[in-house]
């Protein structure tokens, strides 16, 4: 896919002009459709030692205590929700209207890292103390495939059934959305700190400029980082050969060996970028927009090579105690008015039909914001990552882990 430089300039201006207050997140769904792609790439730790940990609804049964316990525990990415100080208005509204008390944790920094925390328990049909976890598509696909996620009761979620956008309804890893509900989508590109460096307009610059040596970071998620390595190799990330993969991997290995890359990170690149420990990095759009409120030196760039587009999904893990309560919360966030309040704060791509109209009352300035309500033309420069069979994805994860030292 060719990328029109003028279009990229337009996208960059749109992103920079957007307001935002939240930090957020990420797997690569796309275009016409977002539903057709759905990554099948496991986490690095998922590549090993999980075959014996596959569960089924018969081998791992869960008891729902929602009828007697009006509570739930929700694990999400840092600041991926609306906030006013220590309060979360939409969650407070849910608690008031439902009578369900929510313990909200921000303990997901990276899909692979989180997988490592819970894989032994979920693989052994043990509780993880969470009723909802929010995973990027490729990791959600992995967990669903391992039988670690409970099937949802769609009859309990009429708002989801009515308002989930059509292009998100049928990912290949969950074609009927039996196990997952999208939370948000977003973009991956480049961020830099203008206090310490000039603009970094492309991944080619990020990986080769001498003044950036040892001062950049890349993401520890294979799909994110290797998508851009494939673009640098001249390959199409949506359809590439094993030879092109090897070339892209060798390219990354060369950058690492040269000392260009300081470290590979999850959401925690935010601290380094703010402090100037890294001056430029691979970054998620919502993180950057949020950082700009406190630090105007933080800039976002749509890379000359293109963008990646991702989505995160709410899942109910096996042995969760409050499945019905979790379904009630998922359904609450699919009311267009609530979705608009959330989107106005986090500035991520909203998965809820009708939220754009509801935004008229929440914040009219955001109604036509392409970061929240993108049209097909906005997504024309975005790429997905080719779906891989199980053995290939395990090998690619091992390759990537070796190069980044994971």
Domain layout of the chain by residue ranges: 71-185+310-373, 187-309+390-404
Look at residue 356 and tell me whether its pLDDT is greater than 60: yes
pLDDT above 60 for 128: yes
Q: Express as a percent the part of the chain with pLDDT over 70.
A: 87
Residue 138: band (very low, low, confident or very high) from pLDDT cuts 50, 70, 90: confident
In this predicted structure, the answer to whether residue 403 has a pLDDT above a threshold of 60 is: yes
The confidence score (pLDDT) of residue 64 equals 98
At residue 310 the predicted structure's pLDDT band, cuts being 50, 70 and 90, is confident
The answer to which of 24-33, 96-105, 294-303, 316-325 has the lowest mean pLDDT is: 24-33
The answer to whether 163 touches 338, Cβ cutoff 8 Å, is no
25 pLDDT exceeds 70?
A: no
What is the pLDDT averaged over residues 78-90? Answer: 91
What pLDDT does 182 receive? 97
Model confidence pLDDT, tens digit, residues 379-400 = 778 887 887 766 787 899 899 9
Query: Is pLDDT above 80 for 6?
Result: no
Note the pTM of the prediction, 2 decimals: 0.78
The pLDDT of residue 51: 58
Say whether pLDDT at 283 is over 80. Answer: yes
Fold of 71-185+310-373: D-Maltodextrin-Binding Protein; domain 2 (3.40.190)
- Which CATH architecture does the domain made up of 187-309+390-404 adopt? 3-Layer(aba) Sandwich (3.40)
In this predicted model, which residue has the larger pLDDT, 326 or 173?
A: 326
Q: How far apart are the first and last CA of the chain?
A: 31
Mean of per-residue pLDDT scores for the chain? 87
Per-residue confidence (pLDDT) for residue 52, from 0 to 100: 66
The arithmetic mean of pLDDT across residues 309-320, rounded, is: 94
Mean pLDDT of 261-269: 92
Assign 147 a pLDDT band (cuts: 50, 70, 90).
very high
pLDDT of residue 390: 64
pLDDT of the residue at 385: 82
Question: 187-309+390-404: same fold as 71-185+310-373?
Answer: yes
The percentage of residues in the chain with a pLDDT greater than 90, rounded to a whole number, is 66
pLDDT at 320: 98
Residue 333's pLDDT is: 98
What pLDDT is recorded for position 254? 98
The arithmetic mean of pLDDT across residues 203-207, rounded, is: 98
| pLDDT higher than 50, residue 26 | no
Task: Identify the pLDDT of residue 392.
Answer: 86
Q: Is the pLDDT of residue 286 over 90?
A: no
Average pLDDT over residues 10-29: 40
Q: Please give the pLDDT value at position 34.
A: 36
């Amino acid at each position: 896919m060719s990328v029109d430089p003028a279009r990229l300039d337009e996208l960059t201006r749109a992103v920079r002009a957007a307001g935002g207050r939240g930090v957020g997140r990420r797997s690569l769904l796309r275009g016409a459709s977002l539903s057709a792609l759905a990554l099948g790439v496991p986490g690095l730790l998922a590549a090993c030692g999980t075959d014996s940990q596959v569960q089924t609804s018969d081998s791992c049964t869960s008891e729902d205590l929602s009828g007697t316990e009006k509570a739930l525990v929700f694990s999400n990415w840092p600041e991926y929700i609306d906030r006013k100080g220590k309060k979360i208005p939409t969650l407070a509204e849910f608690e008031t209207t439902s009578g369900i008390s929510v313990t909200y944790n921000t303990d997901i920094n990276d899909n692979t890292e989180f997988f490592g925390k819970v894989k032994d328990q979920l693989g052994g049909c043990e509780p993880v103390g969470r009723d909802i976890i929010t995973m990027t598509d490729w990791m959600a696909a992995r967990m669903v495939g391992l039988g670690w996620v409970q099937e949802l009761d769609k009859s309990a979620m009429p708002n989801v059934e009515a308002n989930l956008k059509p292009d998100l309804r049928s990912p290949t890893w969950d074609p009927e959305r039996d196990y997952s509900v999208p939370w948000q989508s977003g973009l991956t590109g480049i961020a830099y700190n203008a206090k310490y460096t000039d603009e970094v307009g492309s991944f080619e610059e990020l990986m080769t400029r001498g003044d950036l040596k040892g001062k950049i970071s890349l993401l520890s998620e294979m799909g994110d980082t290797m998508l851009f390595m494939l673009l640098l190799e001249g390959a199409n990330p949506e359809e590439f050969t094993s030879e092109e993969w090897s070339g892209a991997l060798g390219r990354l290995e060369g950058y690492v060996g040269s000392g260009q890359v300081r470290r590979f990170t999850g959401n925690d690149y935010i601290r380094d970028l703010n402090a100037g420990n890294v001056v430029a990095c691979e970054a998620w759009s919502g993180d950057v927009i949020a950082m700009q409120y406190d630090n105007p030196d933080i800039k976002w760039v749509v890379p000359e090579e293109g963008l990646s587009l991702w989505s995160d999904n709410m899942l109910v893990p096996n042995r969760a105690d409050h499945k019905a309560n979790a379904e009630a919360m998922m359904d609450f966030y699919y009311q267009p008015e609530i979705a608009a309040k959330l989107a106005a704060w986090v500035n991520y791509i909203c998965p809820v039909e009708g939220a754009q109209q509801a935004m008229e009352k929440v914040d009219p300035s955001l109604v036509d914001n392409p970061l929240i309500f993108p049209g097909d033309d906005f997504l024309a420069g975005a790429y997905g990552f080719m779906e891989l069979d199980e053995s290939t994805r395990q090998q690619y994860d091992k390759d990537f882990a070796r190069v980044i030292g994971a």
